[in-house]
Structure 1
């Protein structure tokens, strides 16, 4: 098998410009933003964009690499000794999902698509959440071990609702509190 070819310097620059343009376009227009606008903002033709990223999911997946690393680092740094610690974690997950309009629904749609490039990002978030909830269970904050995927589905639902209804952080926290109440013993809510 031949080793992968190294990209030329101009190709590397184009790729970096496409990713930066995509970051801006996704922040402005969501995950369903126009790929033509991404190419224009990057100063490249559509063919160049598609050579680097054959599908929208490939582009979004690459864009999410840093986002996923941030989620994983946050999960590892999250305290889980108190109910509010776990609620704060869930709030940060929703806030991160709201960074890119449409991200929560895009990620939810990839959960069962084994061929999706976004599946790895979704799996990493589920795993990071699992680490937080495992620690919360061992600390006695959560009643029993939980299915991290189910918790992520609930949080995704809150994130999607928050985005569509333009809920403020207090409303989002209240919704997440209802979710967390179902996972924790009554004495933990203090």
Structure 2
């Protein structure tokens, strides 16, 4: 989801690329609510230049998240889905990817139902990825009924938000995801 005009002058193109590179670093360090003025300052441009390229925080985040979206899609494609542990691993990867930028899980949660949000593309990518994995889980007999991807995404986003705020170790995150999965997996008893 690019906000870039079709043709930019060379200096404008360089400014835009520099803003994106700096924004990626600053957002990784400080989270999604990092100061846009600080991003502009570190990129060596004025706030007006930043806003000409990215009219809102969400528009800038959406561009920064293009790489994030690709990671989600690749993770879904490569996720093995043969066992219950595979599903826990998938949910853990999804939660981990959501926690890649501090504050991202909360920003995504806030935009889940906002069709106009530039973050919608990133949210939609996580839903599509989760649907792909869960369809394979159904085919493997791991899930005994239809589960809405949106519901699962909200649950995983909630886990990612808690994990981030409480700085939980990975094993505690896995335990939380196992609890969620217990409600989704087929029972043989």
Q: How does 1:68-79 map to 2 (within 5 A)?
A: 68-79=69-80
**Counterpart secondary structure, 2:65:** helix
| Number of residue equivalences | 185
**CA distance, structure 2, for counterparts of residue 74 and residue 169 of structure 1:** 18
1:5: how far off?
4.2
**CA distance, structure 2, for counterparts of residue 187 and residue 24 of structure 1:** 47
Task: Note if 1:134 corresponds to 2:135.
Answer: yes
1:18: how far off?
0.5
TM-score, with normalisation over the residues of structure 1? 0.94
C-alpha RMSD of the superposition: 1.2
Task: Note if 1:143 corresponds to 2:144.
Answer: yes
Q: Note the alpha carbon deviations across 1:56-106, whole angstroms, 9 max, x for none.
A: 000000110111011011101111111111111110111111110000010
Q: Note the alpha carbon deviations across 1:16-73, whole angstroms, 9 max, x for none.
A: 1101111111111110000011101111111110000000000000110111011011
**CA distance, structure 1, for counterparts of residue 71 and residue 188 of structure 2:** 32
* 4+ aligned runs moved over 3 Å, structure 1: none
**CA distance, structure 1, for counterparts of residue 111 and residue 66 of structure 2:** 16
Q: How does 1:158-173 map to 2 (within 5 A)?
A: 158-173=159-174
1:108: how far off?
0.6
Q: 1:184 to 1:5 in 2, by over 3 A?
A: closer
Equivalent residue, structure 1, for 2:13: 12
Q: How does 1:47-126 map to 2 (within 5 A)?
A: 47-126=48-127
1:109: how far off?
0.4
Q: Which ranges of structure 1 fall in alignment gaps of 5 or more residues?
A: none
Q: Which ranges of structure 2 fall in alignment gaps of 5 or more residues?
A: none
**Counterpart secondary structure, 1:186:** coil
**CA distance, structure 2, for counterparts of residue 67 and residue 187 of structure 1:** 37
**CA distance, structure 2, for counterparts of residue 74 and residue 117 of structure 1:** 22
Q: How does 1:168-187 map to 2 (within 5 A)?
A: 168-187=169-188
